[in-house]
Amino acid sequence: MIASMDLNASPQPEDDEDTFESHYEEDNEPERHIDQISHVERVETAVELLRREREERRQRLKRERPDEGPMHAYQRPVDDHMHQTKYQKSYDRHKLPPGKMAPPAEVGNLSMTGWLDCPAFGQDIGCIIPSKVPLGEAFNDSVVPGKRYSYRQVIHQQRVLGRKLGLVIDLTNTSRYYQVSDWKKEGIKHVKILCKGRDSVPGNEAVNQFVYEVSQFLARQKHSKKYILVHCTHGHNRTGYMIVHYLMRSLPMSVTQAIKIFSEARPPGIYKPEYIDALYTFYHERKPEMVVCPPTPEWKRVSELDLNGDAMPDEDDDGIPTSPLLENHETEGVMTNDDILGDSIPSEQQDALRQFCYQALKLAGGVKMASLIGFPTSALCILSHGDLIFTRSVMYSCFTGPDSSTCLALATPVRGNTQFPGSHPVSLNRENLQLLRQRYYYATWKADGTRYMMLITMDGCFLIDRTFTFRRVQMRFPCKQTAEGLAEKTHHFTLLDGEMIIDTLPDSQKQERRYLIYDMMAINQVSVTERPFYERWKMLEKEVIEPRNYERQHLYQSRNPYYRYDMEPFRVRRKDFWLLSTVTKLLKEFIPRLSHDADGLVFQGWDDPYVPRTHEGLLKWKYANMNSVDFLFEMVDQRQLLFLHERGKKKLMEGNRVVFTDDTDPSSYSGKIIECSWVSEEEVWVCMRTRTDKVTPNDFNTYKKVMRSIRDNITEEILLNEINEIILLPMYADRIRNDSKANAVRRR
């Protein structure tokens, strides 16, 4: 159970901040007496009282601001040098960051914006310090000395607390608050991540960049411990939103726990309800009823009125206008295989993840597995923060390499590994059909979906498309449960292969995405590519699918009972493979009843290792009208040209022509990859669809294999006749008998 929590704690004032409240009240005392009416001849109605007070506010504000035009930068009065008292100097509040606006005092034009009264920084969360934005020294004329908070004060105050800064992450939507060079000359790295405030939460790509920057900085620390200063304007909503994301992706906890950690370190924490709701939605968690959004801090509450007596809008976007938040009228559109799933990640992170894939698949260009293990214990500085859930250091033992300094962020990217390394089948022809007689094969249906590999890490899951581009999706994959019950760990660097399909439910016609996993190449950083397929396939069920299903059925017993699997972007299942003796039933009964499209069969060697890229022993058979080639189509001087790839270069296919069955102008396809089927009677290619998931056409060798398959014309009848002969061979008959018995036992 998660204990009840109070997010309503009041912000604690900093020790070095002066208090100006008494001076402000004294300055406004005469005005308070003027506003009061001591004698009233008759009782005013509520409407009359409202109108009078509104008019009085208008008149008062006009007196205080006689110039209704735009406010200009502050200019020092010529007689400023004659004033010696502490509060007689004028400070221009209009240059300060937005926040609570209070009317200026009569004496000294003292400003009290939300930024001034907002506590400078919070307690450290591990190595992360939440802070309001420091102001450059150019703002000194706008801030009284006791309220100044520049980079010099930041460095000094943290040094007094024994903290040495090494990184500043700026989340404001402007660059006007300070000079970046001020940090760099102190040897402190500065990272800018533009995030709008006010009516929008930071984008998912910005979150991915933030988590990566923090993780990489912490992982590179070896001897001295350095800290990260994270700030937006006030250091609460955007800052808290980002820090909570980092906590969720680096430690096993719920959103409620992560929000509580931030609120205790930076009271009152995140006080905008849309930010809190967005966190629960993003991580697919139901918000507990006990979680109450704290009220807006007193220093942030809007109190300034415009000349009509109305409240000024709440500014939290660094003074830069934003588009109004549109009402949500989204309707679920039709899903297609061309839809882009997930969020982009930093290019440096993608380079490192690519190298892991190359290493797991035993390809040249990878890096040592040990250098790609997750966060080292030394980098998890938050473990010393408290006793909430940080005592489970065993959680990270399997992620830490022998040298205790290994981490994904430590990998030195080697650019150039951009070719998709996944295994590709070859088209079935009369020659390679004989492989079914030489090796033991199983069969499955060939779904007409989108090919993805999937990399599962603590930081999230990454879909890897055929362009070898990684996009992050929020999914949960717990490890296999232990004898004590549900597992505490989640998969970390487990690499899978599969295809994304779209099921259309027959009754409701509702669409659902489903990821069909058919292979596993690595499990928790350990490559399994050299194991036979039947072992990898069984591991897939035991290590990935069953733990998910078990946790779903016993969610109330899990570490996070508020997680909602139904909010994930797609469902997951293992793809089934069948004995060759069932191929007739597969073609005649199973495929026609599928809720998604299928265009043939795949034959998988039961004892084969995982072979990257082209696998000559992995065979695909398509219905005759679905054999296809992916061309690059170009229009040049009204000529329609088809290109393939050969040795990395474009190869013009002279004499080949394509027709488009729709009424679309062919020039609209120029520069695109199009999938085409061959019509033998007319000797022409027919465009089937645009391949948005590919950026290069098929290789010329692939084209030759497809053409041979088309010429051989292995029909469904020919295929079934061949298979009926093959399964009578002794090597098949014995294994089919044994496998059938084993399957019958498992079903009991």
Residues serving a catalytic function are 232, 446
Distance CA 159, CA 226 (A): 11
Residues in a beta bridge with 639: 636
| Among 561, 519, 526, CA closest to 256 | 561
The sheet that has 684-690: what strands, in order across it?
649-652, 639-646, 628-636, 672-679, 684-690, 658-659
- CA 713 to the chain's CA centroid: 46
CB 319 within 8 A of CB 432: no
User: Cα-Cα-Cα-Cα dihedral of 193, 198, 203, 209, to 10°?
Assistant: 20
Q: With 0-12 CB in 10 A as exposed, 13-18 as middle and 19+ as buried, what is 239? A: buried
Tell me the backbone φ, ψ of residue 574, rounded to 5 degrees: -85, 140
Return the residue matching tokens 């007193």: 298
CB atoms within 10 A of CB 363: 16
Return the axis-axis angle of helices 273-282 and 237-250, rounded to nearest 10°: 20
450 is in an annotated binding site: no
Which 3 state secondary structure label does DSSP give 42?
coil
620 is in an annotated binding site: yes
Return the residue matching tokens 């150039």: 416
497 is in an annotated binding site: yes
Distance CA 643, CA 708 (A): 19
597 is in an annotated binding site: no
Return the residue matching tokens 């679920």: 332
692 is in an annotated binding site: yes
Q: Which residues of 444-473 are buried (b: 16+ CB within 10 A; e: fewer)?
A: bbbbbbbbbbbbbbbbbbbbbbbebbbbbb
Tell me the backbone φ, ψ of residue 627, rounded to 5 degrees: -65, 130
Q: Which residues of 269-308 are buried (b: 16+ CB within 10 A; e: fewer)?
A: bbbbeebbebbbbbbbbebbeebebbebbebbeeeebeee
Tell me the backbone φ, ψ of residue 52, rounded to 5 degrees: -65, -45
Type of residue found at 160: V
CB atoms within 10 A of CB 636: 8
Distance CA 312, CA 303 (A): 8
**Tokens at 151, concatenated:** 């980079």
690 is in an annotated binding site: yes
691 is in an annotated binding site: yes
CB 199 within 8 A of CB 324: yes
Distance CA 172, CA 115 (A): 13
Distance CA 413, CA 217 (A): 16
CB 634 within 8 A of CB 673: no
For β-strands 658-659 and 649-652, DSSP reports them as unpaired
Residues in a beta bridge with 169: 191, 230
CB atoms within 10 A of CB 361: 21
CB atoms within 10 A of CB 642: 21
CA atoms within 13 A on the CB side of 1: 4
689 is in an annotated binding site: yes
**Tokens at 290, concatenated:** 């006990």
Q: Is 658 left (phi over 0), alpha (psi -120 to 50) or beta?
A: beta
621 is in an annotated binding site: yes
Cα–Cα distances in Å, from 533 out to 307, 441, 537, 605, 609?
A: 75, 10, 6, 7, 6
Return the residue matching tokens 């830490």: 400
Return the residue matching tokens 């905008």: 272
198 is in an annotated binding site: no
Contacts with 576 (C-beta within 8 Å, 6 or more apart), sequence order: 444
| Among 90, 94, 111, 135, CA closest to 234 | 135
Residues at the binding site are 451, 466, 497-499, 620-622, 689-694
Residues at the binding site for GTP are 451, 466, 497-499, 620-622, 689-694
